[in-house]
Amino acid sequence: MDTTTPAQGGARSRNRRGQGERLREEIVAAALRLLDELADDQALSLRAVAREIGIAATSVYIHFADRDALVFAAMERCHSDLINAIDQAEGASDGPVAKLRARVLLQGQWAYQHAGLYKVLHESTLNQRMEMPFKKVLGERTATAIQRCMDAGLAPAGDVATVALDLRAAVHGAVSMRLNQPDLVLPPLEEQVDRFLTKLVGVSL
């Protein structure tokens, strides 16, 4: 996912009629860049987003009623881009177990690359105050990947929803510890992910 596109310098040329959706996309992209830097939804301001792309603050309000609305849209885009990246990693792997491992590992790697966005997506005040239904997709696809392992006889049959929840909780905990306690000595994330897959899902690697 591209959240590192540099801001355009100077004043921004005005969009032609019918290009309002393009401006909305630019506003969301700018919000993603700033949120990745700030790692805090409360620190984001619509004026800062407007400055990032060289438009008037009033232009942001045309598309988003308030900061919460913009952060929600940014998190929805962030999650969609993450899902696409995970699906691509899964698609490049062979076999149910390798696909599951690629899926889980990329989630952790993405968190390192976008630590700020990860915190906003999972630990922000907006996440605590507002339901984000799009986040269910990640859990559902993880469960589907685990079910494929079970169906192929590569993992013990069981309650796939419970196994998927345990796996996600373990990975989330491992990632959060690395981001929030950077001085803590931990094994490589790949090693932990492999242990999670072996102990929680029951696959052989």
The pLDDT value given to residue 97: 97
CA distance readout (Å), 16 to 20, 36, 64, 66, 181:
8, 30, 19, 24, 48
Which domains, and CATH codes, for the chain?
A: 20-68 (1.10.10), 69-201 (1.10.357.10)
CA distance readout (Å), 30 to 36, 44, 91, 152:
10, 11, 30, 44
Name the phi and psi angles at 132, rounded to 5.
-120, 85
Residue whose C-alpha is closest to residue 61's, from 71, 53, 51, 50: 50
pLDDT digits (tens, 9 = 90+) for 93-141: 999 999 999 999 999 889 888 999 999 988 888 888 888 888 899 999 9
Write down the H helix ranges in 65-124: 67-91, 96-113, 115-123
Task: With a cut of 70, list the residues of the chain below it in pLDDT.
Answer: 1-19
Global pTM value: 0.83
